[in-house]
């Protein structure tokens, strides 16, 4: 398992996402984090040639590689829906652009968060749109891992498994904070998803029951030891990224502080500390 920091965890500390990149890479190098996950709203912006060149410079300086990408589809940018809402052509173009960069960086999986699609979004419409996105990514030899979150059309692990079955060739991004917010046991989710061979990406964080936007540092509420044990038991080989955006937005932690706390909790759990 390769542990990463999300670049978006540093955005609230700085005026613009691009200005946060140096702080992200410096923190990863200082704390011994194995890579960065890049957050994308619009490929033309976050994956522009200039941003990509700047990341490559940072990666060479520190060195910390880009090891994962996440295409986020929030309601603010997709008010009619993303998988739903009749904008599939636009979505496929975004997925295609993101998949091309994913492949160029030698990565096999692209994360996809359909946050704009509410719980009551038409299921079959979402399935059809995701199938088109799957095919667009597959043209670049890239697979899609769909992140579930309470309040969206993919609201829990059951819905995530149902979607993966409905669109063969797609997998699941397990966000542990979202799982705890949904009242789930992330360790159990790891076993269920791995048992179906669809555990393709992981985000690490904590949350109270019903508080899916908390994005608290790992270990803040729940003991992460069973989760870490489950990942080891299934031999999870992918990336595990700290997703702490909500915590940093709250002002209670800086991006580096939330990362340091989460990393300490993860390392303690891995050692089996009491």
Q: What is the pLDDT of residues 14-34, one digit of tens each?
A: 988 899 999 999 999 999 998
Range 51-59, long-range pairs (CB < 8 A, 24+ positions): 51/18, 52/101, 54/18, 54/21, 55/21, 58/21, 58/22, 58/25, 59/25
Report the C-alpha dihedral over residues 173, 179, 182, 188, rounded to 10 degrees: 110
Question: pLDDT per position in the chain (274 positions), as tens?
Answer: 999 999 999 999 998 889 999 999 999 999 999 899 999 999 999 999 999 999 999 999 999 999 999 999 999 999 999 999 999 999 999 999 999 999 999 999 999 999 999 999 999 999 999 999 999 999 999 999 999 999 999 999 999 999 999 999 999 999 999 999 999 999 999 999 999 999 999 999 999 999 999 999 999 999 999 999 999 999 999 999 999 999 999 999 999 999 999 999 999 999 887 6
| Nearest alpha-carbon partner for 117 in 150, 142, 89 | 150
Give the SS3 label for residue 23: helix
Cβ contacts of 240 within 8 Å, gap of 6 or more: 1, 2, 3, 4, 202, 203, 204, 231
Cβ pair 9, 24 in contact under 8 A? yes
CA distance 274 to 269: 8
pLDDT at 16: 83
Q: What are the CA-CA distances from residue 234 to residues 1, 228, 246, 270 (Å)? A: 11, 10, 29, 15
Q: Which residue has the tokens 């997709």?
A: 78
Tokens representing residue 68 in the block:
């994962």
Burial of 213 (0-12, 13-18, 19+ CB in 10 A): middle
The count of other CB atoms within 10 Å of the CB of residue 60 is 10
Q: Which residue has the tokens 């522009």?
A: 48
Q: What are the CA-CA distances from residue 108 to residues 140, 143, 144 (Å)? A: 9, 6, 9
pLDDT at 274: 62
- Residue 205: half-sphere exposure toward Cβ, Cα within 13 Å: 31
CA gyration radius, the chain: 17
- Residue 81: half-sphere exposure toward Cβ, Cα within 13 Å: 20
Beta-sheet pairing, 109-113 with 143-147: parallel
CA distance 167 to 116: 19
Tokens representing residue 54 in the block:
């700047």
Model pLDDT for residues 205-233, shown as the tens digit of each residue: 999 999 999 999 999 999 999 999 999 99
């Amino acid at each position: 398992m390769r542990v990463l920091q999300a670049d978006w965890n540093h955005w609230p500390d700085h005026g613009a996402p691009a200005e946060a990149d140096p702080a992200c890479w410096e923190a990863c190098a200082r704390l011994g984090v194995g890579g960065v996950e890049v957050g994308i709203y619009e490929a033309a912006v976050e994956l522009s040639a200039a941003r990509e060149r700047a990341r490559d410079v940072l990666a060479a300086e520190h060195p910390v590689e880009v090891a994962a990408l996440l295409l986020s589809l929030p309601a603010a940018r997709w008010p009619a829906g993303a998988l739903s809402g009749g904008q599939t052509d636009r979505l496929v173009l975004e997925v295609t652009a993101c998949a091309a960069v994913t492949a160029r960086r030698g990565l096999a999986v692209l994360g996809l968060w359909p946050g704009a699609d509410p719980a009551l979004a038409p299921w079959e419409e979402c399935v059809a749109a995701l199938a088109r996105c799957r095919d667009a990514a597959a043209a670049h030899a890239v697979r899609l891992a769909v992140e579930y979150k309470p309040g969206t059309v993919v609201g829990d692990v059951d819905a995530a498994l149902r979607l993966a079955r409905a669109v063969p060739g797609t997998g699941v991004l397990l966000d542990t904070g979202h799982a705890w917010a949904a009242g789930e046991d992330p360790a159990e989710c790891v076993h269920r998803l791995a048992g179906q061979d669809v555990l393709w990406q992981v985000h690490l964080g904590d949350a109270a029951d019903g508080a899916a936007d908390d994005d608290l540092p790992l270990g803040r509420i729940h003991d992460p030891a069973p989760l870490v044990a489950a990942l080891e038991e299934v031999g999870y080989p992918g990336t595990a990224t700290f997703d702490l955006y909500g915590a940093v937005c709250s002002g209670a932690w800086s991006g580096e502080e939330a990362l340091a706390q989460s990393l300490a909790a993860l390392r303690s759990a891995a050692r089996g500390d009491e």
